[in-house]
C-alpha cells in the first residue's frame, strides 16, 4: 500500500492504514484538508474523493503541489479565516462534504477554532472528521475544549480512535500522533453526547513522563513563586 504513494507522509503505519480504509469506504464527494505540508495525506484524499479543498498557511504549497492533483482546490491562508467562508459557500452551493482531515495549527486555541468552524457545517449525510495528533497534550486540550453537545448533529466523538505514541528523546519526551474521530449526521441527536477517551490510561501514563507535564507544573508554580518573592 505504501508503495502506491510517493509523497512524504507524516503519519504512522496504523494511521495511514486507517485513513486509507476510511476513505475507501466513504469515497467522499467533497473532502476538506486543513494542513497540507508535503502533500502526503493529500495524495490519498485526492485518490478517493471527487473534490478536495486543501487549506494551508504556506504559500509555497500551492506552487509545489497543484500540478500533481486535478481535483484539488488550494486555499492559502489562515484556516481560522478561510474555513468559515468556505463552509458558508459549500452550504449555499449544497456541496456534499463527507470527510475532513484536521492537521494544521497544533496549538490548543488553533485546534479548537478549526473544529468549531468545521462543525458549523450542517450535513445532508454523514460527515466524518479525523483530527491528527490527538495524543499531543496541546492538541488534545483544544479538542476537549469544544462544546460538542451544543451541536445536535454530532453523534460520536472519540479522542483515541487511533492511539498516538510517546517519543523518548533525552529531555524532550514528546507525545505525537493519534487520531480523534467525530461523526456528524443529518439526523438530530436525542441524547447527551459522551466524549470517549478509550486510551485515557495510556495517555495519562505517557503524559506524566513527558515534557508537557513538567511545563504544566512549572506554569502552575510560577504565580506562587512570584507571590513568595514579594
Q: pLDDT by residue (tens digit) across 101-137?
A: 999 999 999 999 999 999 999 999 999 999 999 999 9
Which pLDDT does position 229 carry in this prediction? 52
Which pLDDT does position 167 carry in this prediction? 83
Which CATH class name applies to 2-229? alpha beta
Between 111 and 3, where is the model more confident? 111
Retrieve residue 16's grid coordinates. Answer: 495511514
**pTM for the model:** 0.91
Which pLDDT does position 172 carry in this prediction? 79
User: Distances from the Cα of 162 to the Cαs of 9, 85, 146, 186, in angstroms?
Assistant: 17, 30, 20, 25
Between 209 and 199, where is the model more confident? 199
Question: Where are the domains positioned within the chain?
Answer: 2-229
In 10 A of CB 204, how many CB atoms?
11
Please, which residues have CB within 8 angstroms of residue 196's CB and are 6 or more apart in sequence? 156, 157, 158, 159, 160
Q: How far apart are CA 92 and CA 80, in angstroms?
A: 19
Helix (H) and strand (E) counts in the chain: 8, 10
With a pLDDT cut of 70, the percent of the chain lying above it is: 92
Which pLDDT does position 221 carry in this prediction? 44
Least confident of 42-56, 142-156, 167-181: 167-181
Does residue 27 surpass a pLDDT of 70?
A: yes
Cα of first residue to Cα of last residue in the chain, in angstroms, is 62
User: Do residues 65 and 74 lie in contact, with contact meaning Cβ atoms separated by under 8 Å?
Assistant: yes
Q: How far apart are CA 158 and CA 12, in angstroms?
A: 19
Does residue 222 surpass a pLDDT of 80?
A: no
What are the tens digits of pLDDT across the range 38-75? 889 999 999 999 999 999 999 898 888 988 999 999 99
Q: Which helix (H) or strand (E) element contains residue 97?
A: strand 97-102
Amino acid at each position: 500500500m505504501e508503495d502506491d504513494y510517493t509523497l512524504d507522509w507524516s503519519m504512522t503505519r496504523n494511521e495511514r492504514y486507517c485513513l486509507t480504509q476510511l476513505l475507501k469506504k466513504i469515497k467522499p464527494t467533497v473532502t476538506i484538508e486543513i494542513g497540507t505540508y508535503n502533500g502526503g495525506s493529500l495524495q490519498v484524499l485526492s485518490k478517493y474523493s471527487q473534490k478536495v479543498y486543501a487549506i494551508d498557511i504556506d504559500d509555497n504549497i500551492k506552487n509545489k503541489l497543484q500540478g500533481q492533483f486535478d481535483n484539488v482546490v488550494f486555499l492559502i491562508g489562515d484556516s481560522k479565516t478561510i474555513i468559515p467562508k468556505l463552509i458558508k459557500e459549500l452550504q449555499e452551493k449544497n456541496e456534499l462534504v463527507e470527510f475532513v482531515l484536521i492537521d494544521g495549527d497544533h496549538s490548543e486555541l488553533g485546534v479548537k477554532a478549526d473544529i468549531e468552524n468545521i462543525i458549523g457545517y450542517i450535513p445532508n449525510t454523514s460527515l466524518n472528521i479525523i483530527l491528527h495528533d490527538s495524543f499531543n497534550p496541546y492538541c488534545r486540550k483544544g479538542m476537549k475544549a469544544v462544546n460538542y453537545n451544543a451541536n445536535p448533529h454530532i453523534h460520536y466523538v472519540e479522542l483515541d480512535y487511533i492511539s498516538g505514541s510517546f517519543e523518548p528523546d533525552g529531555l524532550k519526551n514528546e507525545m505525537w500522533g493519534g487520531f480523534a474521530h467525530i461523526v456528524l449526521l443529518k439526523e438530530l441527536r436525542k441524547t447527551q453526547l459522551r466524549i470517549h477517551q478509550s486510551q485515557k490510561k495510556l495517555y495519562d501514563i505517557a503524559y506524566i513522563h513527558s515534557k508537557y507535564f513538567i511545563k504544566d507544573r512549572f506554569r502552575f508554580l510560577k504565580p506562587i513563586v512570584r507571590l513568595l518573592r514579594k
